[in-house]
Chain A
Amino acid sequence: MEKSGSVDSLGSKRSSSRQPSVDSLSSTSTSRSDRSAQTKPHSAMSSDSVSTSAELSPELRVSGLQAKVLRDSNKEELQLLPNEKVQDLAQDVTYFCPFIGALRGIVTVTNYRLFFKCTDRDPAFALDLPLGVVSRVEKIGGASSRGDVSYGLVCKDVRNLRFAHKQMEDTLRKSIFEVLMKFAFPVSNGLQIFAFEYGQVFPENGWKVCDAVSEYKRQGIPNESWRITKVNDHYELCDTYPSTLAVPVNMPDEELKRVAAFRAKGRIPVLSWIHPESQATVTRCSQPMVGVNGKRSKEDEKYLQAIMDANAQSHKLFIFDARPSVNAAANKMKGGGYESEDAYQNAELVFLDIHNIHVMRESLRKLKDVVYPNIEDSHWLSNLESTHWLEHIKLILAGALRIADKVESGKTSVVVHCSDGWDRTCQLTSLAMLMLDGYYRTIRGFEVLLEKEWLSFGHRFQLRIGHGDKNHTDADRSPVFIQFVDCVWQLTRQFPAAFEFNENFLVTILDHLYSCLFGTFLCNSEQQRLKEEIPKRTVSLWSYINSQLEEFTNPFYVNYSNHVLFPAVSLRHLELWVGYYIRWNPRMRPQEPVHQRYKELLAKRAELQKRVDELQREVTNRSASSSSERAGSPTRSITPVQTFV
């Protein structure tokens, strides 16, 4: 990746001059670097690289934003992953860096990445790009006057790269970029995605992070109103749903099948989250198959009534339809639609005005134009506005906020759906759950949330991202998941101490959404993943993350598990996530490695606290022996100091 090649190394250098370096990185720093060497699976085979990392003080390199994707010490040299094989190598390639200018160097293509190493520059410049990130490779123009052939790489992570090399004398020989095309789109070329070959073993097993039954158990399910059903054990009821579902007690499996017939793709309303006190629930489903004739289903009506009855606190049910009402109505032409309030007594239908995947895709494309490579300073804000990206973020957050508010303040159960219930519904339920339940704001909890609400409920990652597929114009691609992570980031900005994970965690998730290094985001549904034996044949992203948690931990996390977060969703309080969308611009680097300072301060605090305690104990012991009538009670001061927000 480019950033790890150039910017990051710079960052460390700069930070060493800027960073106050609180305690001169004494003993803690060495021990920490040792530890990082152990936990990082890919670190340094050569002693060379170890020394480099020591010089640059590995700590300082963790400048918050940088996802140091599986590479740490020597960024200037290509270090192959297990089972990664060099496929081709070309000398004398020019990389047109939009920020530095043309660079000449060597390009290596493996079955996992493209690696460009600049040869005529000191310090070395390297670009390290997992091929999964490449969305499209295009030859730009014909041969130029100098005999150069130019290739453009459009990437999924908001950047474009341009390379050029001399026209091959031997015309039979394939250009390196043709080789690259083959490995960048393995699915289209009948090859295997690299995740199936990558054989790294991590101390943690991420596939064990989420177990549906224990997650329901954590929420207190089954209880007197909700039961766990195995009706979908073989994905017969609904092939895009998980095998384990939680449904109202008084809905027998037979009736569930009839409800499934009335809901698009058989995605019946099932429990996502239950309020531990009020028993108000968040349930999710797809649109009802109302059609132009206004079809009704007795079972479906009974079902929603059962959901309402399961919550004794309220005699109302809110149905949140994520779509704009016009779109929802238009769906009637295709047999879909929305619940009529005549048919569903005591239910109130609310449209949340969130646009469809095509609008979102277009919005991100516009955003990319605005931020990469150059930013027009004087019109920055109006350009940003014209992308509507933040407006979409706002609508999603506002929708989730309304859901959370209804459940928390109104003690009312809600049903959430869009058309199919696998895009906007995922965004809304998972964001609402993040606001409602502090468990999901921990690292493991967030992993569970993604596994459950996104992966098991069939957000179609394969289609939306297009892993290894060269058909870049596919209309099914859309940045739905990126939007969700952006919303999470907005929440972390507004509640800096409420999340156990840091920005790096979110960036890393998005990086590996594309990288195809891990199996986590492959396939479209639980059924497919089972069929492909993903857990057996690939490594989970959570294995990687959970094996080096300190990289991803927010030092300021305070466990506010019982608090509900109500973010301000006005555009006035949202910001563009520059640490993700504009991270390729070297001038956007954060000025201060603030996270580093957090960590150092926390370490310092722990040390001091320990020392205070020790001394206190000593004093108490001594004075107890000498005098007994001390009134000043210095013990009061041992009260651990907590970080409050």
Chain B
Amino acid sequence: MSRLLTESSTFKLFTSVGLLQERMLSQSGVNARSRDVFGLRCLPGECVLQRAVMVRKKLTAREGRGWLSGTLFCTNFRVAFLPQDSPKPDDNADPVLLGDHDVALASIEKVVVVGPNRTKLVTPNSSLKFTPEELVLYCRDLRVMCFLFDRLTPDAQVLEITYTIAKTYQPPKPGSVLSFQNASLGSVEMKQFLSNRRRDVHMNWHESVSDWEQELERCGATGWRVSSVNDRFEMSTSLPKFIVVPQKVLDTELKKSFAHFNEGRIPRWCWRHPRGSDLLRMASFQNNIYHEKDDIRNLEMIMFGCQSSRCVVVELGDELPSPPDIQLAHSRLRALCLGDISTSVSVPDDKWLSTLESTRWLDYSRSCLKKASEVASLLCGAHLTVALQEADDRDMSCVVSSLVQVMCDPHCRTQHGFQSLVQKEWVMAGHRFYSRINYHRDNDKEEAPVFLLFLDCVWQLLSQYPSRFQLTDEFLLALHDSIHLPLFSSFLANCQRERCKRSQNLGQSYTPVNGWRDMLQPDSSSDPSDPPLPPVWDWDLQYSKHRRDRFTQPVPQTPPLQPLLNGNLNTNPDTNPDTLKLSDTIPGSVFLLSRGTFSSPANLLPWRSSSSGVYKKSHRRAASSENVPGLERLLKAWALNEFTHGLTSTPKPQGPLDPCEPLLPLLMGPCMGLWRECYLRGALHAQAFSHPIAANHPHPVERLAQEVQQLKDKLAQVSTSTDSHLPTKMAEPRRTDANLNQNSNNGTFLFPASRPQGRAMPRAAPPPTSTNHQTSRGPPPSSAPPFRPTHKNGSGSGKHTFLFGHSSGTEARHDQHYYPAANNAKLPKSNGSSIAL
């Protein structure tokens, strides 16, 4: 670093590291942050290496296009851009890693400069023979940052900042990650700040027994229990400590089963469909193991879960892309979308479509969605257990199991629900984030952006059902970008065991609220220089409030998922005529779904191999193939996607919104869209003209829904004021609002009572966004209604939100269909007296 500093002759902002330390030491408050003399707010320990004035940043379509002038900085952590008239930063606010116009050095993949009539790729050893007019940063997350140097920018500054960026950004080599982590999080203050952060209690981290129990309760999954048999990772190194297994299987029995599966990844419960089907996932069988009679009984008990009758094993191998396929597709997509000007091999416009097709990225998205749709239809239509089976159960089963839940469970379409889902099916389930992202560039063979493919699939669903998601594509985009920052504990390990090891070794750890209590034994021998890593879900750390506000949008109220208790389905047979009734099913039928067809091969389970000797050990009878047609009908119903269904069956009166109805995507060629806001963000050729109206963002429905919510807020505010007749209250809307939430009589339950203070009111007149583009947005989205107030919050009655101040009528109608009569206690609180509209 000192080398760099001596090189930068024009501006020596910090003449020595000593001075920097002095400055840091002189600051007393933990959260206090240094401020660059030119107004850039630095993280503790971050130092500005170079800056250039009078720089213009090219704005993307989303940002309103056009140009923004300001100052460009290069620190030891990021390239920052500070718009000219940006508001003075609040020195007491918590540190935010990146501003709206910043890019972390670790995200930069390539630095290119444009001079008169030429472009040049700048490497740490380059020397420039011309003064660049434009600086283009190509990022790993497909952003392209383009900065234009004004004639007024001193040439020396232009050259220096270019050299500095080229020398400091992370060249893809092992070992650079740690220094980057230290630059951003390694300061004493940052460490202390991070270790004092509390984790988000609105989401389920799936780390502790109680977390899993909470999930079981949420899904209404009876008959299952949380087992801590893998507490010390002795049964399986890649599985989490706690797994969910059938209640009737004892831990001792369970222990014998691990050996029968790859990596010991036995069938575990993931999720229960409200109609009572369970979703399981597992690795493939170990065939070279001798099966004891008891083992087989245990295995079957685990496989069938608490359904006594049917189990469908869904083979995820053949029809889905392999990780190398995904890697290849993604690298092609990147090359196509970035349109790298330094290589000048940009794809001509008239070959765009076929080149896009040949990346196969959209094909792969389609096949994942197709598989997930099949599974969702099965779960939804019949009462059975679906077990996803993949060789190692760590890639495509993550994709499919989580997509199924996004399709079927409205909770998973909220921000917190989605975060919980990723935590459950990816982070805890042992997706090899660390290897797949290949942060260290030392394991190219394993690299595959499986998670990005999943995000693309979710975006496809979101774009087809825009109003059914509480999370927005801004959120997906933020997650997409975060993956490229090697700063988050969520992604910097391959399984829970590795994460635990790391935090064990650290003197300080990211304080967990629920889990790991017993495991936290500070190890004095650990390297104290390793900074504690935050989870990716700590969005406050990464993004400004302005950005975070756009992560969610209000959604129309959905009736809460009221799970059917096991077996209730038959008591109410008219609920859903589609429901497959296989009353004659022989208990213990196992079917295999592979390549779109069902079969009941005798040797599906290893112990049922054709040699009759082995087979006899099973307690169960052979699966009959008689039920195959019934199952196939379910799949077909999906494949034809309701249009024939609608033609053939009589219209049935339905509630306004069936929460069990999965969001099945249309998968025909023209229906698979390209996530332009992500992949084409950097496409400079699309921004030839600046214009006042931002093109496509956000979705108009989002905006309007937000406005409606704001008006409701306002209304709530005003009506309380009228009720209270107290002018003093008028002056303090914030307080009025707080009261409002406790006051059930005024009937404005936009939010459950648990809404945290401080993000509430007033939203009427937000400060205009700082940039110079003429685009004015609607007021920023108000805070998202927390969909599932946790029981811990004690929010009790406010089970769900009433965004639209709903009449009780629809709910009552709904009750007749789906709610078990005995379950009165859980009925949503009727809110008929809400806003009289």
* Residues on A facing B (Cβ under 8 Å): 6-7, 10, 13-14, 16-24, 26, 99-100, 121-123, 125, 371, 375-382, 384-385, 388, 390-391, 394, 401, 405, 493-498, 555-556, 560, 563-566, 568, 570-573, 576, 578, 582, 585-589, 591-592, 594, 597-598, 601-602, 604-605, 607-609, 611-612, 615-616, 618-619, 622-623, 626-627, 630-632, 634, 636-637, 639, 641-645
Residue of B nearest to A637 (CB): B764
Once the chains bind, are B730 and A632 in contact (CB under 8 Å)?
yes
**Proximity bits, B759-798, A CB within 8 Å = 1, else 0:** 0001011000000000111110000000000000000000
Contact among B352, B657, B711, B718 for A634, CB-based, below 8 A: B718
Once the chains bind, are B353 and A390 in contact (CB under 8 Å)?
yes
Once the chains bind, are A121 and B349 in contact (CB under 8 Å)?
no
Contact among A377, A570, A634, A636 for B721, CB-based, below 8 A: A634
Residue of A nearest to B811 (CB): A24
Give the docked Cα–Cα distance between A26 and B718 (Å).
25
Q: 8 nearest interchain CB pairs?
A: A380-B669, A632-B731, A20-B556, A566-B689, A608-B711, A381-B357, A382-B354, A385-B353
A-B contact pairs, 17 of them (CB 8 A): A6-B647, A16-B656, A19-B657, A100-B644, A495-B693, A560-B693, A566-B690, A572-B680, A578-B671, A588-B671, A592-B465, A592-B467, A608-B708, A619-B718, A619-B721, A643-B778, A644-B703
Residue B90 CB within 8 A of the other chain: no
Say how far B692's CB is from chain A's closest CB, in angstroms. 5
Q: Given A494-B695, A495-B695, do A643 and B703 touch, yes or no (CB 8 Å)?
A: yes
Once the chains bind, are A571 and B695 in contact (CB under 8 Å)?
no
Which A residues are CB-close (under 8 A) to B642?
10, 14
- Seed contacts A10-B646, A630-B730; 5 additional CB < 8 Å A-B pairs: A14-B642, A21-B657, A493-B696, A496-B696, A597-B467
Contact among A388, A587, A608 for B837, CB-based, below 8 A: A608
Residue B488 CB within 8 A of the other chain: no
Residue B500 CB within 8 A of the other chain: no
Which A residues are CB-close (under 8 A) to B354?
381-382, 385
Once the chains bind, are A630 and B731 in contact (CB under 8 Å)?
yes
Say how far A2's CB is from chain B's closest CB, in angstroms. 13
Once the chains bind, are A401 and B837 in contact (CB under 8 Å)?
no
Give the docked Cα–Cα distance between A375 and B668 (Å).
7
Contact among B661, B694, B765 for A639, CB-based, below 8 A: B765
Residue of B nearest to A558 (CB): B693
Q: Which residues of B317-357 have CB atoms within 8 Å of chain A's CB atoms? A: 349-354, 356-357
Say how far A572's CB is from chain B's closest CB, in angstroms. 6
Once the chains bind, are A570 and B657 in contact (CB under 8 Å)?
no
Give the docked Cα–Cα distance between A564 and B691 (Å).
7
In this complex, the member of A123, A576, A636 whose beta carbon has the largest number of chain B beta carbons within 10 angstroms is A123
Residue B478 CB within 8 A of the other chain: no
Which A residues are CB-close (under 8 A) to B658?
17
Which B residues are CB-close (under 8 A) to A19?
656-657
Residue of A nearest to B776 (CB): A644
Which B residues are CB-close (under 8 A) to A7?
643
Contact among B654, B676, B725 for A16, CB-based, below 8 A: B654
Which B residues are CB-close (under 8 A) to A380?
357, 668-670
Say how far A513's CB is from chain B's closest CB, in angstroms. 23
Q: Choose the segment among B123-131, B174-182, B304-312, B802-810 that binds chain A (4+ C-beta atoms closer than 8 Å).
A: B802-810
**Proximity bits, B667-682, A CB within 8 Å = 1, else 0:** 1111100001000100
Contact among A494, A571, A615, A641 for B710, CB-based, below 8 A: A641
Contact among B351, B663, B692, B718 for A385, CB-based, below 8 A: B351
Residue B707 CB within 8 A of the other chain: yes
Residue of A nearest to B732 (CB): A632
Which A residues are CB-close (under 8 A) to B809?
24
Residue B363 CB within 8 A of the other chain: yes
Residue of A nearest to B683 (CB): A572
In this complex, the member of A385, A572, A588, A597 whose beta carbon has the largest number of chain B beta carbons within 10 angstroms is A572
Once the chains bind, are A497 and B693 in contact (CB under 8 Å)?
yes
Q: Given A22-B556, A568-B686, A605-B704, do A10 and B643 touch, yes or no (CB 8 Å)?
A: yes
Give the docked Cα–Cα distance between A458 and B811 (Å).
59
Q: Given A23-B804, A601-B704, A634-B730, do A560 and B692 touch, yes or no (CB 8 Å)?
A: yes
Q: Which residues of B345-400 have CB atoms within 8 Å of chain A's CB atoms? A: 349-354, 356-358, 362-363, 366
Once the chains bind, are A605 and B722 in contact (CB under 8 Å)?
no
Give the docked Cα–Cα distance between A632 and B736 (Å).
12
Once the chains bind, are B643 and A401 in contact (CB under 8 Å)?
no
Q: Given A608-B837, A612-B714, A643-B704, do A375 and B691 touch, yes or no (CB 8 Å)?
A: no
Q: How many A-B residue pairs have CB under 8 A?
A: 268
Once the chains bind, are B691 and A566 in contact (CB under 8 Å)?
yes
Say how far A392's CB is from chain B's closest CB, in angstroms. 11
Say how far B450's CB is from chain A's closest CB, in angstroms. 22
Give the docked Cα–Cα distance between A636 and B779 (Å).
14
Main SS of chain A's interface residues? helix
Say how far B649's CB is from chain A's closest CB, in angstroms. 9
Give the docked Cα–Cα distance between A466 and B428 (Å).
65
In this complex, the member of A21, A99, A125 whose beta carbon has the largest number of chain B beta carbons within 10 angstroms is A21
Once the chains bind, are B731 and A622 in contact (CB under 8 Å)?
no
Which A residues are CB-close (under 8 A) to B69?
none
Give the docked Cα–Cα distance between A385 and B352 (Å).
8
Give the docked Cα–Cα distance between A626 and B730 (Å).
13
Which A residues are CB-close (under 8 A) to B670?
371, 375, 380, 576, 578, 582, 588
Once the chains bind, are A611 and B357 in contact (CB under 8 Å)?
no
Say how far B465's CB is from chain A's closest CB, in angstroms. 6
Once the chains bind, are A23 and B837 in contact (CB under 8 Å)?
yes
Contact among A6, A556, A578, A645 for B775, CB-based, below 8 A: A645
Residue of B nearest to A388 (CB): B350
Once the chains bind, are A376 and B669 in contact (CB under 8 Å)?
yes
Once the chains bind, are B700 and A494 in contact (CB under 8 Å)?
no
Which B residues are CB-close (under 8 A) to A602?
704
Which B residues are CB-close (under 8 A) to A122?
648, 650
Contact among B663, B691, B778 for A565, CB-based, below 8 A: B691
Say how far B631's CB is from chain A's closest CB, in angstroms. 22
Which A residues are CB-close (under 8 A) to B556?
20, 22, 597
Say how far A446's CB is from chain B's closest CB, in angstroms. 18
**Proximity bits, B565-576, A CB within 8 Å = 1, else 0:** 000000000000
Say how far A29's CB is from chain B's closest CB, in angstroms. 12
Once the chains bind, are B685 and A622 in contact (CB under 8 Å)?
no
Residue of A nearest to B803 (CB): A22
Residue B535 CB within 8 A of the other chain: no
Once the chains bind, are B650 and A123 in contact (CB under 8 Å)?
yes
Say how far B36's CB is from chain A's closest CB, in angstroms. 33
Residue of B nearest to A374 (CB): B668
Q: Given A586-B643, A591-B666, A597-B701, do A571 and B352 touch, yes or no (CB 8 Å)?
A: yes
Which B residues are CB-close (under 8 A) to A594?
466-467, 701
Residue B515 CB within 8 A of the other chain: no
Once the chains bind, are B349 and A571 in contact (CB under 8 Å)?
yes
Q: Given A611-B837, A637-B714, do A601 and B349 touch, yes or no (CB 8 Å)?
A: no
Say how far B775's CB is from chain A's closest CB, in angstroms. 7
Once the chains bind, are B671 and A20 in contact (CB under 8 Å)?
no
Once the chains bind, are A391 and B700 in contact (CB under 8 Å)?
no
Once the chains bind, are A381 and B715 in contact (CB under 8 Å)?
no
**Proximity bits, B465-489, A CB within 8 Å = 1, else 0:** 1111000000000000000000000
Once the chains bind, are B701 and A601 in contact (CB under 8 Å)?
yes
Residue B31 CB within 8 A of the other chain: no
Q: Given A20-B556, A380-B670, do A573 and B686 touch, yes or no (CB 8 Å)?
A: yes
Give the docked Cα–Cα distance between A382 and B357 (Å).
7
Q: Given A381-B356, A630-B727, A641-B778, do A612 and B715 touch, yes or no (CB 8 Å)?
A: yes
Once the chains bind, are A570 and B701 in contact (CB under 8 Å)?
no
Give the docked Cα–Cα distance between A597 and B642 (Å).
22
**Proximity bits, B651-667, A CB within 8 Å = 1, else 0:** 10011111001010111
Once the chains bind, are B693 and A498 in contact (CB under 8 Å)?
yes
Once the chains bind, are B689 and A381 in contact (CB under 8 Å)?
no
Residue B492 CB within 8 A of the other chain: no
Say how far A376's CB is from chain B's closest CB, in angstroms. 7
Residue B623 CB within 8 A of the other chain: no
